[in-house]
Amino acid sequence: MAELSRRRVLWGGAIAVVAAVFVVVTLLGRDAINERAQDESQATERCTSIIRGDIAARLEAGGTSSAQASSAEFSGVTTDNTGLYATELNALREARRDRSTVANSWEVSGTVRIQGDLPSGSGLGPTNTFRCTAVVFNDRAVLVASHRIN
């Protein structure tokens, strides 16, 4: 009888340990997923902001008001996890950041439409594609490593 009671206690303890490990792993996994989604959102926001700023600078350089850039409409925006390549590594060096501090690197791309007359020297059309790479660090800071508008 004592042997049976001892086995029940051991099994109960083992089940409690497994349940505790399961809870901890689940909570850590949920936090990692939430952090990744937050990183993706920050990268997208930072890239669209940089693209909007580039549009404003091009419009101004062409003799048009940069205010037109504020009405630029983004569509088909996708954000995908990507690796660190030469351009991103150079940007890290210039920012004096170490590769080991990178949480995620994201490539953001899509289409941006600009209403109204556009100066010919701006290199912009009514519909343009863009691509941007943003690096999110462990401290949640975001660095735009590269961007371009076609």
75 φ, ψ (degrees, to nearest 5): -145, 160
SS3 state of residue 116: coil
Radius of gyration of the chain (CA): 25
| Rounded alpha-carbon distances, angstroms, from residue 43 to 1, 31, 111, 125 | 63, 18, 16, 25
82-101 residue pLDDT tens: 999 999 999 999 999 999 99
Q: How many residues does the chain have?
A: 150
Query: Is the model's pLDDT at 5 over the cut of 90?
Result: no
Phi, psi (rounded to 5 degrees) for 67: -60, -25
**pLDDT tens digits, one per residue of 104-141:** 999 999 999 999 889 888 899 999 999 999 999 999 99
pLDDT tens-digit readout, 46-70? 999 999 999 999 999 988 888 888 8
105-128 per-residue burial string, b: 16 or more CB within 10 A, e: under 16: bbbbebebebeeebeeebebeeeb
Region of poorest pLDDT, from 34-38, 73-77, 78-82, 123-127: 34-38
**d(Cα 146, Cα 143) in Å, to the nearest integer?**
9
